[in-house]
């Protein structure tokens, strides 16, 4: 397995492309938007420069990683020679189903099809393909080049052969793969999202403020980042989407998203990506002040 295609040049997509390219794979980074591809490559370059400054890689490593990445706006062209295709588009079921139908029509018969979904059913995605046994979940954590965990999610029809290959491949990337089964939220988000949602409920009910809630969880529970800051980092729209998938999947009210989260997303307060969420990131001085508060905490 030498050629990898990554569909989607956003935060997760460019991180996945970076990780494979740094490990010596030839990567096709695909997005319908040229601007997104340019931004994705800029992000990869910036992250490599940070690693270079910390002496974690050499200038040769940086140049080699970048040379391993080729960009495409045409899906069929980008995946035509790929042994593995990793979809990392927005967490939207209809979009993912459309992408997988298109992948299935254009990819090699031997290609493994993976999705980076954090909550959507692998079985449902695989059902739109001709060979559901070759479809699997590879849920990377953000930031991808740094975080070790990869949730490997088996759909109902995913073969043992494909699972073993992807587990082994993840280890070659320096990751720690963990095999889980296909239920809403898998393991990571089934546990994480209710905690984030309960933190938002705690704020909504007036128990404590944003900084106080985050400080309690950081100092009392040894979390490296407070839950509300983490929700901002993930994206409040993404949190809402995952909670809705879990609520729809289990029909259990404990997964129902907090009204405050719903309203914030409706208002466009999505966290870091929009410049404001539970914290205000719109001005560098404010962002710097927030960062200093967390360092002190």
| Structure tokens given for 193 | 């999202």
33 annotated as ligand-binding: no
9 annotated as ligand-binding: yes
Q: Count of CB atoms within 10 A of residue 145's CB? A: 21
| Structure tokens given for 262 | 């719903």
CA 153 from centroid of its chain's CA atoms:
14
Q: Active site includes 139?
A: yes
55 annotated as ligand-binding: no
268 annotated as ligand-binding: no
Q: Which of 139, 197, 199, 274 is catalytic?
A: 139
Q: Which of 3, 68, 118, 241 is catalytic?
A: 118
118 annotated as ligand-binding: yes
| Structure tokens given for 280 | 């205000």
Residue 113, strand partner residues: 85, 135
Q: Which of 3, 28, 116, 189 is catalytic?
A: 189
54 annotated as ligand-binding: no
2 annotated as ligand-binding: no
Q: Which of 3, 151, 274, 276 is catalytic?
A: 151
Distance CA 73, CA 78 (A): 8
Q: Active site includes 18?
A: no
34 annotated as ligand-binding: no
Largest CA distance in the chain: 56
Q: Count of CB atoms within 10 A of residue 92's CB? A: 13
Q: Active site includes 68?
A: no
DSSP label at residue 113? E
11 annotated as ligand-binding: yes
Active site residues: 118, 139, 151, 189
Detail the residues annotated as belonging to a binding site.
8-13, 31, 91, 96, 118, 142, 273
Detail the residues annotated as belonging to a binding site for NAD(+).
8-13, 31, 91, 96, 118, 142, 273
């Amino acid at each position: 397995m030498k050629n990898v295609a990554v569909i989607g040049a956003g935060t997760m997509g460019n991180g996945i492309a970076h990780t494979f390219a740094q490990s010596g794979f030839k990567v096709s980074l695909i997005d319908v938007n040229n601007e997104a591809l340019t931004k994705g490559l800029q992000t990869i370059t910036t992250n490599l420069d940070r690693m270079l400054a910390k002496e974690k890689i050499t200038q040769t490593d940086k140049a080699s990683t970048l040379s391993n990445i080729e960009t495409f706006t045409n899906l069929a062209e980008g995946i035509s020679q790929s042994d593995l295709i990793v979809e990392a588009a927005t967490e939207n079921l209809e979009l993912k189903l459309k992408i997988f139908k298109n992948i299935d029509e254009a990819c090699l018969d031997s290609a493994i099809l993976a999705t980076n979904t954090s909550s959507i059913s692998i079985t449902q995605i695989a059902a739109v393909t001709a060979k559901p046994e070759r479809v699997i979940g590879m849920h990377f954590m953000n930031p991808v080049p740094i975080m070790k965990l990869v949730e490997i999610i088996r759909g109902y029809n995913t073969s043992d052969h494909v699972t073993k290959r992807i587990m082994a491949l993840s280890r070659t990337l320096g990751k720690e793969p963990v095999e889980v089964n296909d239920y809403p939220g898998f393991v990571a988000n089934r546990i994480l999202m209710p905690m984030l949602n309960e933190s938002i409920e705690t704020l909504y009910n007036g128990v404590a403020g944003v900084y106080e809630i985050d400080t309690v969880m950081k100092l009392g529970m040894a979390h490296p980042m407070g839950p509300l800051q983490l929700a901002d980092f993930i994206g409040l729209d993404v949190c809402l989407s995952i909670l809705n998938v879990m609520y729809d999947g289990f029909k259990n009210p404990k997964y129902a998203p907090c009204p405050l989260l719903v309203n914030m997303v409706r208002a466009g307060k999505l966290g870091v990506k929009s410049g404001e969420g539970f914290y205000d990131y719109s001005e560098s001085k404010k962002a710097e002040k927030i960062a200093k508060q967390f360092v002190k905490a």
